[in-house]
Structure 1
Amino acid sequence: MQSRHFVLGAAVLFAQLFPFSIQAADQQSAPFTIGEPARSVDINSAPLTLEQAISMTLSASPQLRSAAQSVAIAEGARVQAGVRPNPELSLLREGMSSRTNRTDTYQLSQPIELGGKRSARIKLADQDQALARGDVNVTASELRADVTAAYLEALTAQEHVALARESLSLAGKATNAAGRRVAAGKISPLEQTRSSVAEAGARLELSQAVADAALARRRLSAFWGSIQAEERSLVTPEINLAAIPALRDLQSRLDASPQMQRARMQIAREEAGVNLAKADRVPDVTLTLGKKKDFQTTVSQTVVGLAIPLPLFNRNQGNLFSALRRVDKAKTDAEIEYLNATQALADAHQRASVAQEQIESMRKDILPGAQSAFDAAVTGFELGKFGFIDVLDAQRTLFQSRAQYLSALSARYRSFAELERYIAVDINAGNYSTDRNAK
């Protein structure tokens, strides 16, 4: 895969610099820029930007909609947590043979919760609501990073298609030029064979690039619930390549990330569960008020009762123990989340730094050197001093350099996408923010 990308990486530049002997040496094409639409895409339609892709995902993603529905479920549970126990109406009848030997007792019983159970339930339900909202924030953060990575993958695939088309066009021109020179007796027929093989390989590369681009576009459109591949052209997001926030600054803001906020909400939720388990240890009482009528004596009596469970065996000790251990687990999970997020930030920052070094090195040394060697090979071939194999070698070196440059840019974009998973990074100014609405 990497060698294929190396071959495709500089085809556009090669086509611009070396139109081969069938074109004038001073004829130039428009400069290549990352983000140009592939020819298979309808360039008349408005392009799809990264910001638009993120907005479409956040507004239509089934994953985010599912997380939002969990909030509505938690709201219903919050309403239910605040209701009080229903009273109970009962009828007791003694003696069924005749009316004169019958006694009827009408009772109204009302359970009374003690120990703060209702307030504990409400607090637990409130924490469940907050936890559901935290899940929404985490899901949105994850989707933002995932759709960014998918967009950049589709963008890279789009560029490979464009490069493969230019490579195929260039290979065809090279084959025609080699055929004319063979007919003129200036080069060996072996050179024409080599150029024909190169053209066949370029055609296969184009077919594979088109298939890869279709898969990448389909994965991208799936984020907003579409089953059709995205057909609009993609454009490179504007990123200030000189702006890399310091790792220490990023890690200092990690506590405000959606993931850590959600972890703290989980701890608060489990602590509310402990309070509810403690409240459940206090027995509830049932107050009974009624009337008893004896039909034989025609005497009616008022009935008053109070029922209190005796906590001899069940003191909710098992549930309390489990609730305390869930708090410990939530705290441990929060530590794991922090460690994982810290490591992820460090990895993304390292990849961004390495990619930045590669980009700067390629801009200063590698790309100019490869272009200079290629220009020399082209001039020598036109003057008959070099063979076609020398031009192919220079072309391969230039292609590899351009492909590496494109790969470094893609790695730089992806590293910022990973940073966005935890911290909202201003990639144009080098600043960072935990406020997702600040963008």
Structure 2
Amino acid sequence: MLRKFAPHAMGFALLFGHAAWVQAAVAPRNSDALASALIEAIQPLTLRAAQEQALQGNPELIAARREVEAAEGARIQAGALPNPVLDIQLEDERRATRTRTTSFSQTLELGGKRGARIEAAERAVEMARSRFEAKTADVRAGATVAFFAALVAQDRVNLAQASLEVARRGSEAASKRVFAGKISPIEETKAKVAEAGVRVELVQARGELQSSRQQLLAVMGATHLPAELDGDALNLPQVVAPDAIPGLINDAPALREAQLNVHRLTALVDLESAKRIPDVTLMVGVKRAEELGRDQTVVGISLPLPLFDTNRGALLEALRQRDMAEEELRATELRLRAEASIAVGRYATSVAEVATLKDEVIPGARIAFDAAAKGFELGKFGYLDVLDAQRTLQQARAQYLRALAEVHRAAADLDRLLGSSGSTRSNTLPEIRQ
């Protein structure tokens, strides 16, 4: 399908040099790649594409994936057995009376040390995977917040441009009425000041849009964005019901990580307890006495005597760390429940604010502004009334966009807390009239 766009891709390539055009003509696959890149640059960025790019290119998520791989390597090492030892001893330098002893020794771990070590390493792997899942939810939520922040900023620029057009028409109308002698020149000055104020708002909106796009780039780990974002800030997310949160909290990445940390430290307690049992080293070898002209079998056993170091301090440390992890687990559960409830409350409040602004405030402000503008054209109202109505409409629209952004932030925070089950997105509100 991309081959249909290859001629267009070559046409664009001519702008960048003859060599690039020749390469595209010779290599069809390169033509497809160039056409694909051009289409991608032209097409607006969707939320799903932004999330997928963030999950693939975010450096923090890549680092979390490397942590999982490192933990898996530690798990392999934890299951390794002690290496045998080859020992060669030579007594006397004279060949006729020399005695040579060759022996092999093997340490046998007792008390379940290897099993406890493997258990702790497995829990560490699961913790790393849980942190990766938590980071995945965090990156996805961050990409969602950054995407809708940029989308809201994009809509704010559009609103500011529409407001500037209204202010420009009002300023022109005021100039004509001053020229006709129907109003005071002061009214024209106020109109021009109002237009300048809207221009400032447009500059601020464009600056906010640029900052939001840079933040989205950072979250995505990308170097460029399409000129437009495809989506509608009016597409509100739907979050889980409040009564379903307690069940979802149990599967939250942060709570799973805290639970796995308790299990890991419990395994470390078992490991430190097992270390109090000394390991046995078995030895078998051959002793060659040249003076006697015969070989002698050597068998031995080595057993440390736990007289001074009973590993009591390390065991006490492991016990207290496990106790601390259990308290942190309870604290994490309480924190998640509180933050999830707060996020749901913020979501409900913001949705109610959005609905009120959409259904009542903005339509009323629009009617008031249209009436004031029409009355001004008929000479029934002063331009100050038009400016007040216009300012009220602009403030209502700005408040509407802020409420929309808060809805998306609350839903993203809930998604970050609960993982992938926190929110879904669907169209719930119609677009307001510009």
User: Normalising by the residue count of structure 2, what TM-score does the alignment of the two structures yield?
Assistant: 0.84
Aligned counterpart, 1:203: 199
- Tell me, in whole angstroms, the C-alpha distance in 2 between the residues paired with 1:70 and 1:383: 72
Q: 1:240 to 1:200 in 2, by over 3 A?
A: closer
1:132 to 128, 133, 153: 128
After TM superposition, where is structure 1 displaced by more than 4 Å over at least 4 residues in a row? 237-241
Letter matched to residue 380 of structure 2: K
Q: 1:382 aligned to 2:377?
A: yes
Q: Do the aligned residues in 1 keep the contact of 2:255 with 2:333 (CA within 8 Å)?
A: yes
Aligned counterpart, 2:89: 92
Aligned counterpart, 1:259: 254
Q: 1:109 aligned to 2:105?
A: yes
Q: 1:179 aligned to 2:175?
A: yes
CA deviation after TM superposition for structure 1 residue 428, in Å: 5.1
CA deviation after TM superposition for structure 1 residue 202, in Å: 2.2
Aligned counterpart, 1:68: 65
Q: 1:264 to 1:217 in 2, by over 3 A?
A: same
Partner SS for 1:256: coil
Equivalent residues in 2 for 1:350-361 (5 A)? 350-361=345-356
Aligned counterpart, 1:214: 210
Partner SS for 1:380: helix
Q: Do the aligned residues in 1 keep the contact of 2:58 with 2:219 (CA within 8 Å)?
A: yes
Aligned counterpart, 1:337: 332
- Tell me, in whole angstroms, the C-alpha distance in 1 between the residues paired with 2:363 and 2:158: 22
- Tell me, in whole angstroms, the C-alpha distance in 2 between the residues paired with 1:309 and 1:73: 33
Q: 1:113 to 1:78 in 2, by over 3 A?
A: same
2:270 to 255, 258, 275: 275
Q: Do the aligned residues in 1 keep the contact of 2:141 with 2:412 (CA within 8 Å)?
A: yes
Partner SS for 1:314: coil
How far does the alpha carbon of each residue in 1:12-40 deviate from its partner, in whole angstroms, 9 at most, with x for none?
Answer: xxxxxxxxxxxxxxxxxxxxxxxxxxxxx
Letter matched to residue 374 of structure 1: F
- Tell me, in whole angstroms, the C-alpha distance in 1 between the residues paired with 2:209 and 2:44: 16
2:165 to 149, 162, 169: 169
Q: 1:428 to 1:226 in 2, by over 3 A?
A: closer
CA deviation after TM superposition for structure 1 residue 237, in Å: 5.8
Residues 368-377 or 230-239, more deviating: 230-239
Q: Do the aligned residues in 1 keep the contact of 2:43 with 2:226 (CA within 8 Å)?
A: no
Specify every segment of 5 or more residues in structure 2 that has no aligned partner in the other structure, as ranges: 1-38, 428-434
CA deviation after TM superposition for structure 1 residue 100, in Å: 2.3
Aligned counterpart, 2:285: 290
How far does the alpha carbon of each residue in 1:280-323 deviate from its partner, in whole angstroms, 9 at most, with x for none?
Answer: 11111111111122222223211111010001111211221111
Aligned counterpart, 2:49: 52
CA deviation after TM superposition for structure 1 residue 407, in Å: 1.9
Q: 1:321 to 1:231 in 2, by over 3 A?
A: farther
Q: 1:80 to 1:43 in 2, by over 3 A?
A: closer
CA deviation after TM superposition for structure 1 residue 44, in Å: 9.2
1:392 to 384, 387, 391: 387
Letter matched to residue 223 of structure 1: V
The structure that is helix-richer by fraction is 2
Q: 1:178 to 1:429 in 2, by over 3 A?
A: closer
Letter matched to residue 272 of structure 2: A
Q: Do the aligned residues in 1 keep the contact of 2:178 with 2:188 (CA within 8 Å)?
A: yes
CA deviation after TM superposition for structure 1 residue 213, in Å: 0.7
- Tell me, in whole angstroms, the C-alpha distance in 2 between the residues paired with 1:259 and 1:414: 19
2:312 to 317, 323, 330: 317
Letter matched to residue 259 of structure 1: A
- Tell me, in whole angstroms, the C-alpha distance in 1 between the residues paired with 2:147 and 2:378: 45
How far does the alpha carbon of each residue in 1:414-435 deviate from its partner, in whole angstroms, 9 at most, with x for none?
Answer: 21111111232344589xxxxx
Partner SS for 2:42: coil
- Tell me, in whole angstroms, the C-alpha distance in 1 between the residues paired with 2:308 and 2:60: 46
Q: 1:328 aligned to 2:314?
A: no
- Count of aligned pairs between the two proteins: 387
- Tell me, in whole angstroms, the C-alpha distance in 1 between the residues paired with 2:284 and 2:264: 38
Q: Do the aligned residues in 2 keep the contact of 1:341 with 1:422 (CA within 8 Å)?
A: yes
Q: Do the aligned residues in 2 keep the contact of 1:120 with 1:276 (CA within 8 Å)?
A: yes
Aligned counterpart, 1:18: none
- Tell me, in whole angstroms, the C-alpha distance in 2 between the residues paired with 1:203 and 1:375: 21
How far does the alpha carbon of each residue in 1:202-252 deviate from its partner, in whole angstroms, 9 at most, with x for none?
Answer: 2222222212111110110212212445533241267467x5643232233
Aligned counterpart, 2:365: 370
Equivalent residues in 2 for 1:33-44 (5 A)? none
Aligned counterpart, 2:5: none
CA deviation after TM superposition for structure 1 residue 379, in Å: 2.4
Residues 44-53 or 211-220, more deviating: 44-53
Relative contact order, higher structure (CA 8 A, sep 6+): 1
- Tell me, in whole angstroms, the C-alpha distance in 1 between the residues paired with 2:236 and 2:147: 18
How far does the alpha carbon of each residue in 1:36-58 deviate from its partner, in whole angstroms, 9 at most, with x for none?
Answer: xxxxxx99932222222112211
Specify every segment of 5 or more residues in structure 1 that has no aligned partner in the other structure, as ranges: 1-41, 431-439
- Tell me, in whole angstroms, the C-alpha distance in 1 between the residues paired with 2:83 and 2:106: 7
Q: 1:152 aligned to 2:148?
A: yes
Letter matched to residue 146 of structure 2: A
Q: 1:238 to 1:136 in 2, by over 3 A?
A: farther
Q: 1:245 to 1:82 in 2, by over 3 A?
A: closer
- Tell me, in whole angstroms, the C-alpha distance in 1 between the residues paired with 2:350 and 2:319: 47
Q: Do the aligned residues in 1 keep the contact of 2:106 with 2:282 (CA within 8 Å)?
A: yes
- Tell me, in whole angstroms, the C-alpha distance in 2 between the residues paired with 1:230 and 1:285: 67
- Tell me, in whole angstroms, the C-alpha distance in 1 between the residues paired with 2:360 and 2:233: 25
